[in-house]
Amino acid sequence: MIDHRLQTLRVLRECETVTAAAEALHLTPSTVSQQLRQLARDLGVELLEPQGRRVRLTAAAHTVLRHADVLSAQWERARADLDGHRTGTSGQVRFSSVSSALAALVAPAAARLREDHPGLAVHMSEKDSDDTAQLLLGGHCDIAVVIPSARTPASDDARFAQWPVLDEPQDLLVPAGHPLAEGETALLSDAAAEPWIGSPDRSDQHRLMLASCAAAGYVPRIAHDANEWFAVSALVARGFGVGLVPRLAPLPPRDQVVRVPLRGTAVPSRRIIACVRRGSDRQPPIARGLEALREVAAGRDG
Who has greater pLDDT, 205 or 281? 281
pLDDT reported for residue 86: 60
pLDDT band of residue 119 (cuts 50, 70, 90) is confident
Question: Exposed/middle/buried for 125, CB within 10 Å: 0-12, 13-18, 19+?
Answer: middle
Closest CA to 143 of 283, 296, 298: 283
Say yes or no to pLDDT of 163 above 60: yes
Tell me which CATH code domain 167-270 carries: 3.40.190.290
Side chain identity at residue 190, one-letter code: D
Return the number of other C-beta atoms located less than 10 Å from residue 35's C-beta: 21
Torsion of CA 286, 147, 229, 265, to 10 degrees: -130
- Topology of the domain comprising 4-82: Arc Repressor Mutant, subunit A (1.10.10)
Measured CA angle at 79 (ends 158, 25), to 5 deg: 65
129-144 pLDDT tens trace: 888 999 999 999 999 9
pLDDT band of residue 286 (cuts 50, 70, 90) is very high
Q: Please, what's the largest Cα pairwise distance for the chain?
A: 72
| DSSP annotation string for 200-269 | TTSHHHHHHHHHHHHHTT---EEEEE--SHHHHHHHHHTTS-BEEEETT----TTS-EEEEEEESS---E
How do the domains of the chain map onto residue ranges?
Answer: 4-82, 90-165+271-298, 167-270
Return the number of other C-beta atoms located less than 10 Å from residue 121's C-beta: 14
pLDDT reported for residue 302: 45
Say yes or no to pLDDT of 87 above 50: no
User: For the chain, how many residues are written?
Assistant: 302
Q: Could you tell me if 300 and 166 are in contact, meaning their C-beta atoms sit under 8 angstroms apart? A: yes
Question: Exposed/middle/buried for 160, CB within 10 Å: 0-12, 13-18, 19+?
Answer: buried
Those residues with Cβ within 8 angstroms of residue 44's Cβ, 6 or more apart along the chain or in another chain: none
Who has greater pLDDT, 284 or 235? 235
**Does this chain's domain 90-165+271-298 share its CATH topology with 167-270?**
yes
pLDDT reported for residue 256: 96
pLDDT reported for residue 89: 59
Interatomic CA distance for residues 269 and 175, integer angstroms: 21
Interatomic CA distance for residues 148 and 153, integer angstroms: 8
Those residues with Cβ within 8 angstroms of residue 152's Cβ, 6 or more apart along the chain or in another chain: 129, 130, 132, 133, 146, 275
Mean pLDDT over all residues of the chain? Answer: 90
pLDDT reported for residue 301: 52
pLDDT reported for residue 1: 67
pLDDT reported for residue 200: 79
Share of the chain above pLDDT 70, in %: 97
- The whole-number average pLDDT for the span 117-134 is 90
Say yes or no to pLDDT of 46 above 90: yes
CA 18 centroid distance within chain? 24
Those residues with Cβ within 8 angstroms of residue 15's Cβ, 6 or more apart along the chain or in another chain: 21, 23, 24, 134
Share of the chain above pLDDT 90, in %: 72
- The whole-number average pLDDT for the span 202-212 is 84
- The whole-number average pLDDT for the span 230-245 is 96
Those residues with Cβ within 8 angstroms of residue 34's Cβ, 6 or more apart along the chain or in another chain: none
pLDDT reported for residue 99: 86
HSE-CB of 278 using CA atoms within 13 angstroms: 15
Architecture of the domain delimited by 90-165+271-298: 3-Layer(aba) Sandwich (3.40)
Who has greater pLDDT, 195 or 90? 195
pLDDT reported for residue 299: 87
- The whole-number average pLDDT for the span 75-84 is 78
